[in-house]
Amino acid sequence: MNCKAPRGTHDIFGINALGMSILEQKSKQIFIKHGFEEVRTPIFEDASLFTRSIGQTTDIVEKEMYVFEDRKGRKLALRPEGTASLVRAYIEHRFDVSYPSGKFFYTGEMFRYERPQAGRYRQFHQIGAEFYGSLSPSADAEIILLACDIFSSVGINQIKVHINSLGCQKCRPLFRASLIKYFSSVSDLCRDCTRRLQTNPLRLLDCKIDVHKFTDVPKMEKFLCQDCKEHFNLTQTLLKSVGCAYTVDPKLVRGLDYYTRTVFEIRSDILGAQDALGAGGRYDNLVKELGGQDTPVVGFALGSERVLIAAKKSGFFDNLNKVEKIFIAIADQELFSTAFAFCVKLTRNGLKGNNNISVFGPVDNKSLTSQLKFADKIGAAKTIVFAKDELEEGKVLVKDMKDKTQSEVLISALL
């Protein structure tokens, strides 16, 4: 049998598992402060949900989705991102009626068939939030600031916010037409660009192969209608008002079809490349396109694995408040049940009120020497030894495993 995880997947354990939980906890705390509520959607959905929302001509739908048929021949897909599922849930359960604040967040596994590389997996984790029902630029600013706060909560402070506006249904077609005209004049476009030229010309803006050929590309800024211009300006004013530094980046288009107006990416130099830790934007037509009421939305998602790499490089893991490991040993076999009962009390009450502990032992039928060796192996900070003579006086031996000192302590003083 092949005992390896499938290509592009990974097991998360040890410090990485701890980091993942901390990132999720910190994010949840921040979401809750901003009034966002959690929604957990299924890992698979009807494949058509993603093709309709993300767009037929995007990389995700064209090459990266895990699509399969179930036993009844239904065409399903593992979710490649969280937005489409959340919009589906919003429409299905009439969240517009039951949750008028319109603020939701999610965390969970996503699936994309991509070439595996550092921090990119075929099964990966995202944390995201979406704000439904507000056309105000303050919703855009809140989402961007919320994302920044999550990064700084795990020690990532060197971040760069890139923002752009892609306009609306009124003004984007003019920009699109001007892009098609411009790109048609460029010779030797790469295969992807040639294919996308008519269907999705915005995507050519972020082509890594042809980028040097694109000088003097038309900018969306020039085509923004009055409403879009005001929206973009006010979003920026709000970001400035709380000291959030950002760069207006006309090349930022994002890979998904559903964006309107604001798009943003949050990058960090810590990762070396220009890759984003998180990204998002506004999608004012998506709910309606998927069959709901006309509802504007702005949201973002971050890739947990990439954020954790950056957090690690920022030294966040060095400062984690680690738990104290305590091993319970027995010098006499007959004290096993007494020691076991003590362990249970310790896990319930903590050691002198300290609940940040992990309790190990007792083990049967091992010499005290081998018990102490095991305590060292697991990195115990303290070993508490139950021995007959001391126990008669209500005491145990507490060994400090680091400096090898020991003292007799009353059991009542430990609990």
Contacting residues toward Zn ion, per CB under 5 A = 167-168, 170-171, 190, 193, 207, 209-210, 225, 228
Contact 155, 319 (CB under 8 A): yes
Least separation, in Å, of the C-beta of 76 and Zn ion? 32
**What is the nearest approach in angstroms of Zn ion to the Cβ of residue 167?**
4
| DSSP per-residue string spanning 64-124 | I--EEE-TT--EEEE-SSSHHHHHHHHHHTTHHHH-TT-EEEEEEEEE-----BTTB-SEE
Q: Mind spelling out the 3-state secondary structure of 353-376?
A: CECCEEEECCCCCCCHHHHHHHHH
- Residue nearer to Zn ion on the CB measure, 75 or 170: 170
Beta strand 276-282 with 297-303 is antiparallel
* Residue whose CB is less far from Zn ion, 166 or 396: 166
Name the residue nearer to Zn ion (CB basis): 200 or 268: 200
Name the residue nearer to Zn ion (CB basis): 166 or 335. 166
Which positions ≥6 away from 135 have C-beta within 8 Å? 231, 284, 296
Least Cβ distance, residue 250 to Zn ion (angstroms): 16
Q: Nearest distance from residue 228's CB to Zn ion, in Å?
A: 3
Residue 130 vs 210, nearer CB to Zn ion: 210
On whether the CB atoms of residues 375 and 358 are closer than 8 A, the answer is no
Residue 241: CB minimum distance to Zn ion, A:
24
Q: How far is the CB of 132 from Zn ion (least distance, A)?
A: 20
Smallest gap from Cβ 229 to Zn ion, in A, equals 8
Cis amide leading into 296 (omega within 30): no
E strand or H helix that includes residue 248: strand 246-248
Toward Zn ion, which CB reaches closer, 173 or 379?
173
Strand partners, 360: 327
**108 versus 250: smaller Cβ distance to Zn ion:** 250
Structure tokens of 338? 């007494």
d(CA 27, CA 353): 28
Q: How far is the CB of 234 from Zn ion (least distance, A)?
A: 14
User: Is 46 or 206 the residue whose CB approaches Zn ion more closely?
Assistant: 206
Residues 6+ apart with CB under 8 A from 97: none
Size of the chain in residues = 415
Contacting residues for 67 by C-beta, under 8 A, at least 6 apart: 47, 75, 76, 77
Helix H or strand E encompassing 343: helix 336-349
In whole angstroms, the minimum distance from the beta carbon of 158 to Zn ion comes to 30
Q: How far is the CB of 92 from Zn ion (least distance, A)?
A: 30
- What SS3 state is found at 315? coil
Of 167 and 278, nearer to Zn ion (C-beta) is 167
What DSSP state is assigned to residue 58? S
Residue 15 or 211: the one with the smaller Cβ distance to Zn ion is 211
What's the DSSP call for residue 291?
A: T
Q: Which residue has the tokens 């107006």?
A: 261
Dihedral angle, C-alpha 359, 360, 361, 366, nearest 10 °: -150
